[in-house]
Amino acid sequence: MEKLLNELDLQSATAKKVAEILEGRIQQLRKSNDADLPPDKTSHLRGKLTEAKRIYNLMTTGTFQSPSGLNVDEAE
């Protein structure tokens, strides 16, 4: 898979800050997902969680990949 961000990009202060913010967001979404929610709300929340994980992966590895390992273009 082609890297969208190079090592220099990944080591930037901005990339590190975005990754840190996303870690917090992922934790928030996971906690919310543990709540007793209706199926439609749970589905929406899981979609947000997946997207946050994809962006986190981009900011930490340079590839925009889903948590399951599928390329975003393959998953759609």
Asked whether 57 and 51 are in contact (CB, 8 A), the reply is: no
Domain ranges of the chain: 7-75
**pLDDT tens, 41-76?**
999 999 999 999 999 999 999 998 766 655 544 443
Asked whether 58 and 49 are in contact (CB, 8 A), the reply is: no
Two tokens, residue 49: 């969680």
Calpha distance 63→71 (Å, rounded)? 9
Residue with tokens 């007793």: 36
Closest CA to 15 of 7, 27, 24: 7
This prediction has a pTM of 0.80
